[in-house]
Amino acid sequence: MTTKRIGILTAGGDCPGLNAVIRSVAKSAFGLGWEVIGFEDGFQGVVENHFRVLKNPDVSGILTQGGTILGTSNTADPFRYPIRKRGQIVFRDYSDHVVRHVKELELDALVCVGGDGTLTIAKKFLKWKLPIIGIPKTIDNDLSGTDFTFGFDTAVHIATEAVDRLHTTAASHHRVMILEVMGRYAGWIALYAGAAGGADIILIPEIPYQMKFVCEQVKARAGKGKRFSIIVVAEGARPKGGRMVVKRIVKTSTDPVRLGGISHVLGRDIERLTGLETRVSVLGHIQRGGSPTHDDRNLGTLFGHKAIELIQRGLVGYMVALQNGNITQIPIRNAVRKRKLVPRNHPLILATRAVGTSFGD
């Protein structure tokens, strides 16, 4: 049996299930007699050669934990690496550091766990023939080539529970309650949580809304004696002909645009146009925290094991994926070719429309 040495990093935003993947990759590798190196804080660890050799005790008992024991970073892009010089942030291309350190450590593979930003970086390194395997992580579920990413199910579970809790206070005070959820430019979390929570209105980026239809829905409910309404809005939702609400710009990030605040805009408009008392809740990073659901634990375990299987077969340059219930692989370049958005004819959209849910259109 050939002894291999592999590296693993977790990059981009954190999410529940990362430790399940680390555990699965490491323990599957240990079972083959391989060595595993964990890079700290995403690509920053590879650029600066900060790592630790993982042993079985390091990855035992972490399956249920949120976050990542290796740390992460969403600003450490080796091709645009931020450094401080004379009190200012400047950017340098340190991709050669990554190539050098991977070769010096004689890694047979580098497992990159992340979303579109992380895997776009990974794709760039393929031209240097670096042996990279990708594992899709994002609560946004917006990576092409995989039906679901781990982290998504937990985020939906948390958002759905928030909708359930808002129902009781909305009914008690006869209010319009708005819940803003994450998802960036895709509406997967809002759709799944809104549908599961029985929201009266779901607003997603893929279907620009019109205020007149939103207001008509809440007024129609009030007219029928339904004295409250629940609205779930994705942070990337926008009015027809309008723009997404940008909360701030983080210049050092791989994705500098930070969305957020659409719920406050929506709430002010609804209250002004309908006279109905409206309250806003922004779920934010609560969706990223805490223990992963059983589905995310199992998906992370399956993805991690599949990554080791690909390395065994000498298949690098691939991302593991879930397709039609099967764990498979696709070229990394295909996974980041385009963002996976919610199709307008998605079965869940059709079903929720049928039961009376409005999408503001």
Q: Which residues are catalytic?
A: 140
Please list, in sequence order, all residues whose beta carbon lies within 8 angstroms of the beta carbon of residue 272, skipping any fewer than 6 positions away: none
Distance of CA 251 to the CA centre of its chain: 20
Radius of gyration for the alpha carbons in the chain, expressed in angstroms and rounded: 22
d(CA 311, CA 275): 61
Given a contact cutoff of 8 angstroms between Cβ atoms, the answer to whether 107 and 5 are in contact is: yes
d(CA 102, CA 49): 9
Q: Exposure string (b/e) for 310-342, b if CB count within 10 Å is 16 or more?
A: bbeeeebbbbbbbeeeeeebbbbbebbeeebbb
Q: What is the 3-state secondary structure (H, E, C) of 14-47?
A: CCCCHHHHHHHHHHHHHCCCCEEEEECCCHHHHH
- Measured on CA atoms in the order 41, 43, 45, 47, is the torsion positive or negative? negative
Q: Degrees (nearest 5) of the Cα angle 221, 222, 223?
A: 90
d(CA 215, CA 201): 10
d(CA 212, CA 361): 9
Per DSSP, helices labelled H in 126-261 are 152-173, 188-197, 211-223
Number of H helices, E strands in the chain: 12, 15
